[in-house]
């Protein structure tokens, strides 16, 4: 328990604290044990696994850029969940992602 307190004390940014708490939650890595059965839609794409792992490790997911709606996007890859520019943000970002994929 001492190690956990040390890690929590050194988290200097809310992203770090949220990442640590999510990783420390029970069963947070259980998705890695799911069998990749395509017929049951349980197979993740290579990009989905890459993004999940980089978010979990706190690595950069993308390069900083401006989103389709004109908002700045940082390297954390969380902008699609936070964009206030579109009334239907998630759908809007998925449409853009599908168009560029």
Given a contact cutoff of 8 angstroms between Cβ atoms, the answer to whether 44 and 33 are in contact is no
Dump pLDDT digits (tens) for 1-32: 577 777 777 777 777 777 778 888 888 888 77
Q: What is the pLDDT of residues 29-50, one digit of tens each?
A: 887 787 888 887 778 888 888 8
Whether this model's pTM surpasses 0.75: no
Say how far apart CA 43 and CA 35 lie, in whole Å: 8
pLDDT for 50-65, tens place per residue? Answer: 888 887 777 888 888 8
The domains of the chain are located at 61-101
Structure tokens at 77: 């890859």
Cα 87 to Cα 79: distance, rounded to the nearest angstrom: 14
Per-residue pLDDT at 93: 52
Distances in Å between the alpha carbon of 78 and those of 10, 28, 72?
A: 22, 19, 11
């Amino acid at each position: 328990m001492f190690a956990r307190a040390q890690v929590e004390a050194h988290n200097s940014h809310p992203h770090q604290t949220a990442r640590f708490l999510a990783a420390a939650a029970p069963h947070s890595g259980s998705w890695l044990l799911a069998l990749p059965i395509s017929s049951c839609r349980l197979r993740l794409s290579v990009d989905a696994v890459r993004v999940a792992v980089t978010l979990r490790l706190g690595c950069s997911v993308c390069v900083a850029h401006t989103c389709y709606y004109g908002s700045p996007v940082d390297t954390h890859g969380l902008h699609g969940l936070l964009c206030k520019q579109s009334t239907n943000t998630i759908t809007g970002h998925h449409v853009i992602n599908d168009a560029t994929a």
